[in-house]
Amino acid sequence: MDRSLEGRTAFVTGSVQGIGLAIAKALASAGARVGVHGLATPQQAADALAEVKKGGAAEARFFEGDLRNPAAIEAMMKEVTAWGGPDILVNNAGTQHTVSLAEATRQVWDNILAINLSAAFDTMRLVLPGMKQRGYGRVINIASVHGLVASVQKAPYVTSKFGLVGLTRVAALEYAAAGSRESGGVTVNCICPGFIETSLIEPQIQERVAKHGGDRIAGIADLLGEKQPSLRMSQPDDIGALALWLTHPAAHNLTGAAIPVDGGWTAQ
């Protein structure tokens, strides 16, 4: 059993469901204390904490904070830091709105950029100095395949994800020499998922499944055929497993990367 994160504290934004919850559970399985965050009712927050604790977390706590509000982020991160660390920061929270560039409003632009990019800037600038001081730290930003390639109808989203990849690379350079191989060092990386099988895209899946007479595999292949050569989706747990590996000492020299998990999408 992997208990490599015992004594470490992790904080995962947007972790009450989907990819964020899968990452929180993966880190919990290695013995980390895990801070959970998200837009959630008290029951949703309690359910997420229960799953993380069941997954093996040494301790779990829910933190509130509106990621559109820099003051709220600063207050939340002070609470997280007082709780401990964090040694591992995962910026997973994100939002998307599909709209043409001509029809996108400034409100849509500001909202997406605030949550997907500016919030990561604030969390990172507040925790990286402490990681440097301790000689160990992992920042894992959940970007997207759209941080590497563009698609139509997604100008604000693509901009935010390209920006997140750039921010990640700058931070990786600034902290590359922090710590040592023995202490684990400080690394900053992006994971760039393609299609992930979550509730958010289930309506798209069901539409294609119906076209193929109820055959889910054929429906998914039809949906992915335009973009993802593998013709199969990843699961949230796959992203959790990769995030966990990035926390290991063996990953001390992997920094500044934007790692695609996209079935060959960006290899084309």
- Which residues carry out catalysis? 157
10 phi-psi bin (left φ>0, alpha ψ -120 to 50, beta other)? beta
What is the distance between the alpha carbons of residues 72 and 39, in angstroms, rounded to a whole number?
13
Give every CB contact of residue 61 below 8 A, 6+ residues apart in sequence: 33, 34, 35, 36, 49, 83
3-state secondary structure of 89: strand
Burial of 105 (0-12, 13-18, 19+ CB in 10 A): exposed
Helix axes 119-134, 70-83, angle to 10 degrees: 30
Distance CA 98, CA 157 (A): 8
Residue 112, both tokens: 């997406």
Q: Are 217 and 224 in contact (CB under 8 A)?
A: no
